[in-house]
Structures are given as C-alpha cells and as structure tokens.
Structure 1
Amino acid sequence: MKSEKNRLIALERIADARLNKSFFLDLSSLNLEELPDDISDLNHLIEIDLSYNFLSEMPKSISSLLNLKILNLSNNYISTINFTNGIHYLLKKLDISNNLLYEIPDSLEVLMNCDEIIFKNNPFLNAIPQSLRSYDIWYILEYLNLTKYKETQRHYETKLIFVGRGEVGKTTLIKVLKDNSVTITPGAEETTHGINIDHIDIDVFFPARPPHYNHYFELQDLYQTFTYEEVNEYEIDYDYHFGDNYLARFYETFLEMDEDEKVGFITTTDLGKQYKIKKEIKTNLWDFGGQEIYHSTHQFFLTKRSIYIFVWEPRKDGVEEEFEYWLNIIKLLGQNSPVIVVMNKSEVRHYPIDKKGYNSTFPNIAAFLEVSCIKKSGIRNLKFQISNCIANLPHLGDELPKSWIQIRDKLNKIEKDYINISEFKNLCSNYITDFNNRHLEHISDYLHDVGDIIHFKNSPLLKNILIINPQWATKAVYSLIDTIPIQKKNGVFEYDDMEKYLNLEKYPVETHIQLLELMEKFEICFKAVGSPSIYIIPELLSNEIPNIKIVEKIKESKDIFKFRFTFNFMPKGILSRLICKLFYLLNSENYWKNGVIFKYDSSIALIISDKLDKKLDIYITGQNKRDLYGLIKNELIQIFSIFNMIESKDFYEEIPCNCDVCSIDQEPHYFRNSTLKIFIDKSKNSIDCLKSAISVNISDLLFLYRNSNPNKSIIYNILSALSRLQGLSRSIETSEDSRNSYISDALSQSGIISKDQSRWGISSSGHSIGEPDIIFEETTGKFLTFYEGINLQYLNKTTIISHIEKIINKYDALGVAEKFLGCYCKTANFSNLSNSYYEFLQTFTHESIKFTDVQDITSEFTNYTELKIFKTYYYKSERKISLTHILINLQ
C-alpha cells in the first residue's frame, strides 16, 4: 500500500512539473525502485532530486534531459550510470554519493565540464588511499588508471612543524635533533624570520602488517617491539640486538611458506603486533618564526597530515595564552594532527601546567616532554615520540603511481626555485606514457597539496609557473612583511618598491608580479582599487582609527542593523582576510588593524574586531542593508570554513534583541542564531529577552536577517577584475582580446557566469544580441547584461562613438537595464583624458542616441585617481536605461 501511495505521489509530481513547465522536480524519499513515468520530454527541468530511494540504476530517461544542471542520485543502490556519448550535457552538479558503484562509470567521461561530482561512500573508494579521497572524480579515475596495471610505490615522507613564540629555542632544538653533538651557545642563535625549511632522515618502526609490509621483504628487516620504558631503560640498540639467531626459532617454518601464506601469517598472528619493519623516513622540518607579526601569515602553511612540535619555555607570564593560541590553531588547521608539547630550557626553571586538562581539551596531544638543548637532556625521549607519531600517521604508506614518486624525486633534485609549465610538462612526459594535460593537472594537484610545490593552475598569471622551492616564495612574503619602511607606512607599498626590498638575484624583476599575485591568492595583501601600483598588507595596518567621528556616527545611527560573531577561540587574521576579500568595497582609507568600513550602493558597514572578548561586531546603515549583510556574512562563512570552524561549536552568529528596551540601548541583549533555530524547530514563536524580560516574536526578530544570498551588483565584480588587471598590466598582453579574456576569466573565478566571445553564441531566449565582448548570465542560462572593452590612449571620439552606437543600437535590442563599457587607458596624464571623456559625454549627441543625464559616480567606489566611473542614462521604448563607462589607467 505504501509503495503504491508513493508511486502515485511521484506520478502527481511529474504531471505537475509537465503541466507547469517547472524547473525543479522533487522525487526524493519515496522508496522508488524505478520511475513510474517517462520524463524524457521534461526538457525544461533544471534540477531533479531522486535521493533516498531504492534505484539500482540511473533512470534512462534522465540521459535525454539536456538542460538539466543539478541531479541528486545520492543514497540509492545504484551500480550503473549511463549518460549518452556524443551529447553535450549542461550538468553542473551531480551527487552520486552513498551508492553501490564498484567502479567509476565510463559514461561520466561526457561530464568533463561538470563543476562538481559528489561521490563519497561508494565501494570503488576502498581502493583509494584515504589522503586522496577528497580529490575530484577525474583525479580518482586517473589514479585508478595509473595504479591498475602499472608499477606503484608506497610513499613515506612527512612534515614536522615547529611552532611557538619567539626565542623559545625552536631553531636550536632542530639543530640538536639533527646532530646531538653540536655545541650550543646560549643566545647565539639568530632569530628566525618567516619560515626556514630543512629535513632529516628518521628511522621509524612500522607494524609488520599492511600497508607497511612487503610481500618480498628481507627477514632481517623484522625487529621485535619494545615499549618506551624498555627502550629508555636499557638503551636497546636495535641493529645489534636482533640478528638471525634471535629469530631462528620460526625462520625455518616461515621460509617454507609461499608468499600468500607469509602474508596471512603476518596479518593473522601476533607477528604483526610483536615485530616491526624499519623504514627510513624523510622528514621535512618547518621552523616557524615566533614573532606575533607572522602568526596570521603562518596559518597558510599549517597543514593536516603533519606532526606539530609546540615549543615553549617556563616563564612567569603568558604561558596560558600561548598554549590556548597554538593548541587551538593546530586543532583547527591541523585537523587532529598529533602535537608534542615540548618545554625547552628545562635547565633554567620549571613551570607546572595542567596536563590532564590540556589532554582532555586537546586529545591530539601525543606527549608532554621536557628538554634542554644545552645539556642534551630529553632529546632521546623526543626522538622516540616523534618516531612513534610518524609510525601512526594514516597517510604514510599510501600506494602511489611510481611515476608520481619519480617526478617528485626529480623535482627535488632540480637546483632551481621555480620552473615554467613547459619544463614541467617535459619532465612528466619522461615518466608517464601518453602524457596529457589531465595528467599534468593531477600530478601538480598532488604535489601542491602535499606542499612540495606551489602551483595555482586556474590563475591566469600563476598557471605557467611551478614554484618547486616553497621556501623561495615564503621568504619573499616574509621579507616584505619584515621591511621597516613598509611597516612604517602601515603595510602600504608600491609595485616598484619590490626592487628595493627584495634580493634581485634571488627574485628577478619578472617574478615580482607573480609574487604579488601569490600574496593576493593567500589573502596577505590587496591592491587598492583605482591605483595602478599601490598594495596594502592589512596585518601591518595601524591600530589607530583613521576617523573616529565616522565610526561613532555609524554606531549612533538610528537606522542601524547590528549582528556579531562570537568565538570560543578567535584565530588571528579573520579581519585581514575579510578586507582582502572585499577590497573592492573600500572607497576610502577607513580601515585599520582592528576595524574597517565598507560601502556598498547606498549602505555602509562598520566591522570591529575585539580580540579580548573574541568577537566581531558588525553595524550596517543605509537602504541596502540586507544585501550588504549577505555579502559580509557569506565571506565570513567562507573564512570560517578555511579554519574548519563549525557554527555552535567554534563560533556563534548573534543578533540583537528588538524589544522596547534593547531597541534604544547601545548594548542590547544578543540572541544566538542557533538558539532561535531550536525554538523555531520546537514550534516556539517567542523568546524572552534576558535584559528586559520582555517576550519578543522570533519571526519579527529574524526578518532582516533572512537574506544571506544577495544579488550582488555586477559593477563590483567588474571593478574587482579591472583592478586586478590594472595591477597585472605589465604581464597581460595589451590587445583588447587579451584584456577582455582576463576580465572574463576573473569574473568566472569570482562566481559570475561570464563568457567572452570564444564561449558564447545565441542567448537562451533565442534572440541574437550581436557580438559584445563579454556577456553575463544567470545560473539558468538567462541573459543578464554585457560588457564591452576598448583600448583608449587618447580621446578618440570616433572609436568611442562607434562602440556606444554598437552597444545601444546593435547589442541592446532587448533594452537591457544596465550595460558596461570598459576603457583600457594608457596615458601619462589620466586626469586630462578622463576629464575630457566626461565633458564629451555631457555634450554627446549621435543620431537617435541622446544621454538625458551624465553622472560621475567615482567617489562611491574609490578615492584613488587612476579610475573613473561615469554613468549615462537614455530612454529606449519609454524605459530609462543606463550605460556605465569605466575608465582605468594601465600606464
């Protein structure tokens, strides 16, 4: 009965979708074993949800739906998926997780342009190392192809990261670990600036069972297990203590076994528990400078699949704060990587700490140790614990294509800091048969992920360079942060300053623009919109508020919209990252170390970071508060995800009470958003204010906070892309096509669906819109607007008139409400050119085109002089339409 009822529900929903030409069809959770009706005629569908059913294969009629963009087949029993070869599908998201796929379906090859394929919890993943399962489906397929019939090799290499405040002896400890006989002179060690990278080979004893055993291992590689106490007490020499005689009692039996029996013997008896295999592990040592100025930047290099050595020294003050910061940041970014807590300089003094309390809060702490680099005490214990941690790392012993290991080893032997993409292709082609661009992406993704190289394949500027010595890049970044003149200017520097502050032998001028792009990628600096060459490092901003009156005015505004985020632990650099992400909303210099003012359309937002109370307070005024709230919240949520922070566990969004008392109070009571959700789930309509005891309506309280996905005005995305083009103008080809292509790529990476002339044709409505340089679409494919770009070295009225006429009369047959004309200027006197352009627009007349209003709206977006924005209005079919002219100097 129930199955028949569900079948009828499915038929009803299909019929309704067919009748109303719906975009979405929900057939989830109906226990369907097959579709009750053919849906191949529903070409208007954009999204189908078939999750939580009993399907054994993808319904064949789905393969006929060419306009489908989202398909959810998760939580079924699917073992077969069939898309049709030769058909161009528009699918952007496919969820096939939690099914019975024992291999990756061949038909997925036709979905190479699909943005996201979710495939977790399928049987084919059992053959994939845990550390590789987060990669995309094409990466997994490539891995399987390379390992199925070809030679593989197990990967044994890891990273040891030393952290802690400055001058606690991290660098000295590394020296002693590498050479216990080295002479240590107190106070003689130079301060570490940024990050130093070294390596050491460590003998590690792995259990004699998978994945560490070898079918053909030599018997003398077996070693008996000893406890920590036994090793420490008897100082056992493994190599001397274990010889053939010691293991002779089972050698004869073992030798008579065939290979399968040997494997079974190792895995099913106590041999795998009692005995270990010794392997030499290359361990990369990352020594992090401890000065606070580096802390937010260090976060980019704190990675999972590492071991952390948190070094501290006993002092009278600041120990608790030090423990809280480093253990929390490792917990968030290291994702449960083991931590060894090392008290250095134990010969000087002792400081008691709550080991049980720390172990309870941070279960990833492997050991608390005390060492003295001068007396060399405790070093043996530390080595033992490091070896223990390495032996238990889950990613060690991953089976990788031997070609990847060979390529990696070859890169490590190249005595260069970086190579170009052509050199990398040539190197890879020596080790991979039928090498292609997909191979290139997969091997570079892997090497980038494990920290061997830095390669951003989707960046127009960085895709052609592989940084094979990451320390080369980090040294450059920290050199700029350490530069006194930049610090005195509160983080402000110009592109040409890099020639003064960087070693030109190490960092030739041609690499400077790429280093800047790298810093922007890491959100370490941002480029000032409207300035060709000014960059700003937010971490070096002044603590002083530039204009306290504006801050107070915003706070005291009657029409104000408040919310805040509070944290159990507040990582450093959250506000700096937010400034870098929303740099295009800075139309003045109202930003400082702990605060920023953003302007969006007719609204203004003030954000203040309070490190002591661990909170971010946000105040928004103006007519467009909801959209600005959505922009800020979305970017903050992305930043929190970088730190692996979870709402209600690591942070809370809080909104102020709107009762009569709190509405006029500068310090209202704040409700946690998560608490309000619980009340809503329990069908509670109201909640009591803890300040006034007045009951408030939850729906009214949440009304302003419901829009978290704003429809951001396209002009901000265009300005962001143009500003980046302005900074990269020395490296991007000067042709209109090259500049337009860069703008289109930059917009696409920011989430805007944009297509340049090589990637578009007829609009989805079927009407031709001519051939503008870039068009913008909604996710449904609906045409939104377009952008035309021209080179302009002087006031060439003929060129300008020609483009205006094409935009309005040829391209704009549909009467688009807002369009854009970008002028790539290259002039020594931009002020004269932009003034002349503005005067020209004010007097512009051409046949049927007449501008009814011309406005200079530059001040709404920037206070720098090398960018001008003019908005012109005209009427078409009795509708008021705008054309925005953006002039940017690329001199």
Structure 2
Amino acid sequence: VSFLKELKGITSLDLSDNNLSDVSFLKELKGITSLDLSDNNLSDVSFLKELKGITSLDLRNNLLNDVSFLKELKGITSLDLSDNPIVNPPKNIVDGGNEAIQEYFRQAEKYEIEKTYEAKILIVGESGVGKTTLMELLFNPGHLVPSPESTQPSTLGVVVKSDRLFKHPDKKLPNIKAHIWDFGGQDIQHMLHQYFLTDDCMYILLADESTDSAHYEYWFHVINLSGKNSPILVLLNRHKGQNAVIPFDAKLYKETFPNLKILDLGEIDLGNLDHRWGDLINELAFNLSKLPIVGQQTLKPWKAIREEIEKLRPKKYILIEDFDEICYRNGLEEQRDARFLLNYLHKIGFVLHYEEGTLQNTIFLDPNWITHAIYDVLSDAVIINKNGQFKKDQLYEHWQSNLCDKKHTQAYSQDECNYLLNLMLKNHFEVCYSLESKPSYYIVPTKLPNRKPEHEFEAPNSLRFLYLYPFIPEGLLSRLIVRMQEYIEEGKVWLTGAIFHKDGYSAVVLQQDTAQEGAKYIGISINGAELYKCQEFLRNIRREIEHIHRSTFPYIKYSEMVVCNCPVCKKHQTPNFYAYENLQTYLEERGKEIFCTVGNQKVDIRQMIDEVYLPEDFDRDGQKKLIAPKSEIKKKTIKIFLASSFELSEDRREFEIFINRKNKEYQKQGIFLKLVIWEDFIDTMPATRLQDEYNKAIADCDIFVSLFHTKVGKYTNEEFDKVFGSFKGNGKPLVYTYFKDAPINISKITPEINTLLGFKQKLSDLGHFHTIYSNTDDLKSKFGEQLEKVMEKL
C-alpha cells in the first residue's frame, strides 16, 4: 500500500484490518486529518508526530508500547488506543484519553522520569481454601499454618499487604515490589470485589481438593470482565493428610476462555513449604516480570509520594489538603499536578477519591476499612430486615459498637459512619439508596425478597428490548436500581426486577435466566401512549446500563436484542428477538426484510430498528454508538478571599455563615463558593510555606473582599497592592472593600486610625470606590447584590 504516499491531497484514510506492520510511508501525507490504522500489527508509528493536522486517530488492537509521539499532536479530538501493550505513558493515563496523555507529557518535561518495578498480586478463590494463609506465608514463611479442621475466621472484605520483594529474573534489574490483595471468598462479597479487579496485575486463583467448590468458571468469567490481559495462575492447595488433589483441567478452561492467560501451577502443600515453595516463588517472580506495568516509566516525584501515603494507611483516610502537602514536600508543587496524580492513584486502586459530592475533600487509603464495614452490614440479618431495609441510626449504632479489624482497633466514629454510608450510595459503590417515603431508611436491592408485585408485566403493544449476557456479573441489576432510584414506583422493586415511572410512562425491568446454560438477560418493557417518549425512556435506562458496563466491566460481552414488531409478536408472550448486530449484517448483505418464525411473515428490518433506537443513537455513517453519559451541570468553583483585621472577627464569622447559605442556593446551578481566609492557612500550612501559599491563594482567587473598621494593618495594605495590581493587569480578581460605619469608643482610638484615613485616600487616588456597611446584615445584603451582578461573568 506504499503507493498511497503519492496521494498528497488525501485527508481521510482507513487502513484497518490489513495485517500491516510498517506504514511509515504515511509521513508523506501531511494533509491527513483522519486516520484509522486499527487491527494491524504495528509496533512503531512514531512518525505520526510529523502529521500535525491529525484530529482523529484510531490505533486500537496493535502492538504499540510507546505512544510518546502523541505529545506533538495536540489537535487530536478523537483517539482510540485500546488493546495495545502500552507502557509509556502508564496504561491508566492512556485510558484517560488524549487530555490525560497530554497532561502526563507536560509534567514529564517538567519533572524527571524513572522506571518503577512494582505490581499487584490478587489472590482470589472460594472461602476456606487458604488464601489468607498463602498471603501470610508470602510475607513470613514461618507463619503458623492452621490445620484444615481449625476454625480460622474468613477474610471479610479485602486485605492488602504491601512491599513483598521478588527477585527480578534479570539480575541486572531491581527487585519487583508486589502489593498483595487477599479477597474474601463468600458469595455476598463478590459484588464489591469487582471495583478492585484490574487489568495490569497478576491473579492467583487458589483452590483445594474439591473441584465442585472451586467454581473455576465463575472466577474466569469475573476476571475476564475486568482483567482479561492479566495472567491467572491456578494453584491447588493440598491439605495435610491428603494423598492427592483432583488436578485442574487446564486444557478444558483454556479452550473455554481462549483469550485468558491461564497458567497451571499444579499443587502445593501450604503446611509443608519444602514441597515446591521455591518453585512457586520463582514462578511468581517470572510472571510478575512479564507484566507491562513492571518497568514502566513514571514521574520521579510520584514514587516518594506513594511511599509516604503507604505509611499513612493505618489512618484509613486523609483530607485532600494533607495530600497536597505531601505532594508539595516531594516536589510536586502545583495543585494541578497533584490533582492529576490523585486521579491516577484512584484509577489504579491505590487510593479512593471522588471528585463530586460530599466526599470530594476526603481520600480513602485502606480498601479493607471500607469493605469490612460494608460486608459486615450486608452479612447482618438484624441490621437489614427481611424487606431489604435498614435504618440509619441502627446502622450507625452497629458500626460504632464494633471494631474494624486488627489494624484499626477503634470503632467507627460519627464522621466515619457518614463517610461509609455515602460510599454505599449512587456514584460510589451503589449498594443502597434512601427511601423518600421513610426518612432515614435505606434499601439494599441485593437483600430484597424475590417477590413480584401485582402488575401487568407483558402489556400488549409495549416497547420491548433485551440485553443478553453469556455471563452476567453480580450486582449489575441492583446497581441499575440504585442509579434509577428516583423513578422507582413505591413498593414495586424486588430482587430480580423493578418498575420505574416517568412522566406517565412505566418501565418494567427484569433479570431472568435463559434456556442457554449460564446465560441471562435483562429485559425492558416500556408502556405509554407515544412511541417517541417510550424510546426516550428506554434510552435513559440503556444509558445507565452502559455506564455500569463502561465504569466497572470494560470487557463485558452482551448482545442488544431487538424485538420483532410484526402484529403477532406485538401481542405474544414470547416474541422473536434479534441481535442488533445480526440485523445490521442481514440488512447490509441480504435485504430489507427478515422472516419471523413466530408471526410466520416477513418483517421490515429498518422499521424494526427504528421503533427501538432514536436518530441520536447513530453516528453520521449510520453506525450505532454508545450513549454518552447524562450531561450534568458542570461544577464551577468561585474562590472568594476574605481579608480583615482581628477586630472584625465576628463580622468575618457571619460572612462565612452567609457564604455557606449562598452555597445551598447555588448548588443547583453547579456553583460552589469557596471562601479562603487567613485561618485556613494557619491551620493547614507549615510556617516555611505559609506566606508563599497565602500570596498564591490571593493571586488565584476570583473575588477579593477586605473588611475595615478602625485600622489597616501592614499586611492588609500589601495584600491590597498585590491584588489591585493583578486586577488592573488582567481583570482578576474582582476587588471589593467594605468599611464598617459603627460607633467607636473614643477611649480606644489610637494613632492607628491614621492608617485607615491614609488607606481611604489611597483608594480614592486609585479610583477605587469602597462600600460602607453599618452591621453584618447590611454587609451580607450589599455583597449579595454585588455577587448576583457579577456571577454570570465569573
């Protein structure tokens, strides 16, 4: 295809699925803006940096491990790098899209780069097979192994132990630092595990002598949803006294899951480390060394920051100000750079941090502290009643009377209970939702009884649609229920379904088994007068399901099933359903109609599709696309800096209360007023950094407010000069000065009054108009009016 280099005027080119290994001739096509090189064997496309005009680039499913050339292509608006063994930049940066990649390379030019040799080992398997024992032995070979007959407590939640060193097989390279995660095996815990399973780690699937209890297929399915590119080492634990264990049928499972890297490590006796223990350690080291994440490049300050945070894990959580201070101490001085690192650490599961809502100022350091508390409640039949409900007060009383675990020997505080309950709600772990009709009560969908309410489930002429899954992960339907809680019809929600209402239209959503072993579907049936509104309601539900797919199960497999719209199927209890991709292929290759075996007639395919999907479901080429996340009001923070002398401490306090009340008004508009005052810095900054941060905060604010009464201090005068100079230069921040007109005790008048008079004259000379206020109510009223006038400009 090298002849294409002669087509100098070409702007769009599709060379996908051509088994190409060298396309360097494309560097001659300087005018190209859209390029599709997906599904080839390309390992080096660095020449693309010369094609500065590219806006759309598809490189998925190739052999790329370095995409640093992208730092030269700042105009890209559409980029797909999926299914490549990329190590530079780190995979989780790549997953964030071109904006994250550009930010990483911006910081790479600013800070030093170094290679890191660390990875995660996730130990999974059923309860009681020896996962916790294996983890303990990896850190301490002298650990006392309990006998099979002993009653060792099962792991509740997730336990993480860090810094287990493995010798790199290449003796010239550093040791590999492993962070080992032990996952509790009880069925009820599987739902939350999915949030911590990732694609850039190594799995150990531990089983014992009973193949019936190993549930290999389940674990392979679960790992396939989130970590299909990771090696899975299957290890059989032979308990003391057994002559042999039933071997793992590697051939069968490799054929069943051809895309998984399943490795059979054979058997081991955890009670006798002379039996293959050294071989096991060598196998683990070898497979760790082959992970793309081991030896990847990262920014040098990141390592020291991570090490410092690791030491803080016993604290369970820290405030975002603490994180900023750690970053600053280790050379990451700009808040923008610190936030970028925080987002990266959240994505790799090192910490948990949510940018919106009530948890935005808190960073959670220990997943076990969270999962232990949540699983503890989910396992308690007293806290959660037979109707799947719990009361907030009763939940808090339980948490506050129970210790967390061996590391955290104190019961949960009131604030910690608030954190944990928030983590159980929508946009976090999505375990429960609040009941509008019963304040302080919550519903856990996975604990609901499986009793269908009275309802006409198959109304004639309803709009029907299915998601068909060869394997459906735990909690998918329950999360959909939590995400759509506002539409639930009172009392009409159960373990395997729910009925939603919106603007006079109803939707029945059910999860059911199919005739095919293991396969399940989520069925949706919409009832209402107008087809368009039914389609819109269906699209809202599809959007939430696709969000769950994308956010937690990136490799989930499913088919969208379109119901036949022939007259017979419209009224039939079991109508014909067709996979959308099959309909599309039939339409392109065979014709416009398909034969329905239920209605015994031909059906128009295009009309069938158009009854389900809306025009916005397709791109300009007619290809169906994923539904974009629901557009939310973009959060905007307006920083207000308040400067005043100590004599006005009461006025300052009232002003702070006023700003808090205004925030409640503005939150629906997506606006947050952040008040910055001197005390904030005294409480959170070390003395060596105090004045620098103070000056920086003044420069970064949107509005600068100063209050005066009988004097003007030296620092206030300097602050004003700096702020007013910035305002004159670039129009920011807006400057408001308020003088309190209140009686002054003559006996307390000092020569400092002259500083006030001199400052007033200074304002007059600068052409700046100040405002007089008589009391705090007057101050709040006047500033509130000025705030409303400038809000749109901000």
TM-score by structure 1 length? Answer: 0.59
- Give the drift of 1:149: 6.3
Q: Does 1:470 align with 2:470?
A: no
Q: Secondary structure at the match of 2:537?
A: helix
Query: 1:587-612: per-residue Cα shift (whole Å, max 9, x none)?
Result: 31211111111112121111111245
Q: Does 1:203 align with 2:166?
A: yes
Partner of 2:281: 383
**Closer, same or farther in 2 for the Cα pair 1:526/1:281, shift >3 Å?**
same
1:689-704 correspondence to structure 2 within 5 Å: 689-691=596-598, 693-704=600-611
1:138-177 correspondence to structure 2 within 5 Å: 139-148=100-109, 150-177=111-138
Q: Does 1:626 align with 2:535?
A: yes
Amino acid at match of 2:122: I
Q: Secondary structure at the match of 1:423?
A: helix
- Give the drift of 1:500: 0.8
2:141 to 180, 189, 193: 180
Is the Cα contact below 8 Å between 2:87 and 2:296 reproduced in 1? no
Q: Secondary structure at the match of 1:705?
A: coil
Q: Secondary structure at the match of 1:369?
A: strand
- Give the drift of 1:705: 0.7
Amino acid at match of 2:493: Y
1:299-314 correspondence to structure 2 within 5 Å: 299-314=194-209
Q: Secondary structure at the match of 2:431?
A: coil
**Closer, same or farther in 2 for the Cα pair 1:565/1:602, shift >3 Å?**
same
Is the Cα contact below 8 Å between 1:155 and 1:398 reproduced in 2? yes
Unaligned runs of 5+ in 2: 16-25, 38-46, 61-66, 402-409, 618-629, 636-656, 673-701, 704-794
Mapped to 2, the partners of 1:94 and 1:5 lie a distance apart of 19
Amino acid at match of 2:221: N
Q: Does 1:345 align with 2:238?
A: yes
- Give the drift of 1:492: 2.2
Q: Secondary structure at the match of 2:71?
A: coil
1:453-602 correspondence to structure 2 within 5 Å: 453-456=351-354, 458-503=355-400, 505-520=410-425, 521-529=428-436, 532-545=439-452, 547=453, 549-550=454-455, 553-555=456-458, 557-602=459-504
Partner of 1:809: none
**Closer, same or farther in 2 for the Cα pair 1:198/1:448, shift >3 Å?**
same
Partner of 2:558: 651
- Give the drift of 1:141: 4.1
Mapped to 2, the partners of 1:315 and 1:689 lie a distance apart of 47
Partner of 1:406: 304
**Closer, same or farther in 2 for the Cα pair 1:708/1:173, shift >3 Å?**
farther
Mapped to 2, the partners of 1:619 and 1:285 lie a distance apart of 44
Q: Secondary structure at the match of 1:588?
A: strand
Query: 1:329-355: per-residue Cα shift (whole Å, max 9, x none)?
Result: 101211321111122235545334432
Mapped to 1, the partners of 2:156 and 2:7 lie a distance apart of 69
- Give the drift of 1:542: 1.8
**Closer, same or farther in 2 for the Cα pair 1:337/1:29, shift >3 Å?**
closer
- Give the drift of 1:671: 1.5
Q: Secondary structure at the match of 2:562?
A: strand
- Give the drift of 1:575: 0.2
Is the Cα contact below 8 Å between 1:595 and 1:609 reproduced in 2? yes
Mapped to 2, the partners of 1:585 and 1:361 lie a distance apart of 40
1:666 to 573, 576, 580: 573
Is the Cα contact below 8 Å between 1:98 and 1:120 reproduced in 2? yes
Amino acid at match of 2:534: K
Partner of 2:669: 744
Q: Secondary structure at the match of 1:637?
A: helix
Identical pairs, percent:
25
Partner of 2:318: 419
- Give the drift of 1:708: 7.5
**Closer, same or farther in 2 for the Cα pair 1:79/1:462, shift >3 Å?**
farther
Query: 1:107-141: per-residue Cα shift (whole Å, max 9, x none)?
Result: 87xxxxx9x764859xxx99534553233445434
Partner of 2:253: 358
Q: Does 1:639 align with 2:548?
A: yes
Mapped to 1, the partners of 2:302 and 2:421 lie a distance apart of 30
Is the Cα contact below 8 Å between 1:153 and 1:405 reproduced in 2? no
Mapped to 2, the partners of 1:392 and 1:107 lie a distance apart of 32
Mapped to 1, the partners of 2:49 and 2:289 lie a distance apart of 38
Mapped to 1, the partners of 2:133 and 2:105 lie a distance apart of 44
Partner of 1:104: 71
Partner of 2:294: 396
Q: Secondary structure at the match of 1:590?
A: strand
Amino acid at match of 1:181: G
**Closer, same or farther in 2 for the Cα pair 1:692/1:315, shift >3 Å?**
farther
**Closer, same or farther in 2 for the Cα pair 1:503/1:390, shift >3 Å?**
farther
Mapped to 2, the partners of 1:81 and 1:341 lie a distance apart of 48
Amino acid at match of 1:740: E
Amino acid at match of 2:470: N
Query: 1:78-98: per-residue Cα shift (whole Å, max 9, x none)?
Result: 74769xxxxxxxxxx964667
Mapped to 1, the partners of 2:103 and 2:555 lie a distance apart of 33
Q: Does 1:441 align with 2:339?
A: yes
* Residues 171-180 or 674-683, more deviating: 171-180
Unaligned runs of 5+ in 1: 11-26, 32-51, 59-70, 83-92, 109-113, 208-275, 711-715, 722-731, 748-757, 760-891
Amino acid at match of 2:119: T
Is the Cα contact below 8 Å between 1:564 and 1:618 reproduced in 2? yes
Is the Cα contact below 8 Å between 2:116 and 2:296 reproduced in 1? yes
Is the Cα contact below 8 Å between 1:448 and 1:455 reproduced in 2? yes
Partner of 1:331: 224
Query: 1:186-221: per-residue Cα shift (whole Å, max 9, x none)?
Result: 2231111112222352323243xxxxxxxxxxxxxx
Amino acid at match of 2:391: E
Is the Cα contact below 8 Å between 2:237 and 2:267 reproduced in 1? yes
Is the Cα contact below 8 Å between 1:367 and 1:385 reproduced in 2? no
Is the Cα contact below 8 Å between 1:200 and 1:282 reproduced in 2? yes
TM-score by structure 2 length? Answer: 0.66
Is the Cα contact below 8 Å between 2:158 and 2:371 reproduced in 1? yes
Mapped to 1, the partners of 2:483 and 2:438 lie a distance apart of 17
Partner of 1:61: none
Partner of 2:184: 289
- Give the drift of 1:736: 4.8
- Give the drift of 1:77: 6.3
Is the Cα contact below 8 Å between 1:57 and 1:78 reproduced in 2? no
Mapped to 2, the partners of 1:449 and 1:736 lie a distance apart of 34
- Give the drift of 1:578: 0.8
Q: Does 1:128 align with 2:25?
A: no
Q: Secondary structure at the match of 1:587?
A: strand
Mapped to 1, the partners of 2:80 and 2:579 lie a distance apart of 34
Mapped to 1, the partners of 2:591 and 2:510 lie a distance apart of 33
Mapped to 2, the partners of 1:300 and 1:630 lie a distance apart of 25
Is the Cα contact below 8 Å between 1:627 and 1:708 reproduced in 2? no
- Give the drift of 1:395: 0.6
Query: 1:713-765: per-residue Cα shift (whole Å, max 9, x none)?
Result: xxx9999x9xxxxxxxxxx9995531233333399xxxxxxxxxx99xxxxxx
- Give the drift of 1:579: 0.8
Is the Cα contact below 8 Å between 2:318 and 2:364 reproduced in 1? yes
* Residues 307-316 or 488-497, more deviating: 488-497
- Give the root-mean-square deviation of aligned CA atoms: 4.1
* Residues 630-639 or 610-619, more deviating: 610-619
